[in-house]
Amino acid sequence: MHTSTALSSVVRFLYHASGQFRLTMTEEYEFRLELKYESARQFYIRIPACEIEGRDLPPIFTNVIRRKKYIECSTLELMKRNQKVTQ
């Protein structure tokens, strides 16, 4: 399989999986979250800070950074999926 075709296939898979991931995470933790992608960072989670006020983020969330009105983070599962893009 050509490299660009393989990469496209992985990206399509991750995009589809990300929808399921977002739905599962939203249902499980009861706050809105967005799955974002940047080529340098790959997939990461962005949560409006107002959704978390007065609560702690569950320990599943790692690499937590607060940026103005948002909290950006990841999970172990998301990091594993990002690895598939780079392989």
What is the tens place of the pLDDT at every residue in 21-43?
665 566 677 778 888 888 888 88
What distance in Å separates the CA atoms of residue 16 and residue 38, rounded to the nearest whole number? 17
Round to the nearest angstrom and report the end-to-end CA distance of the chain. 14
User: Exposed, middle or buried by CB within 10 Å (0-12, 13-18, 19+), for 68?
Assistant: exposed
Count up the domains in the chain and report the number. 1
Residues forming beta bridges with residue 77, ordered by sequence position: none
| Region at 21 (left for phi over 0; alpha for psi -120 to 50; beta for the rest) | alpha
Q: Which residue segment(s) compose the domain that 64 sits in?
A: 3-86
Q: In what order do the strands lie in the sheet with 42-48?
A: 34-38, 42-48, 70-75, 61-67
* CATH number of residue 19's parent domain: 1.10.1420.10
What is the tens place of the pLDDT at every residue in 49-83?
998 888 888 888 899 999 999 999 998 888 887 88
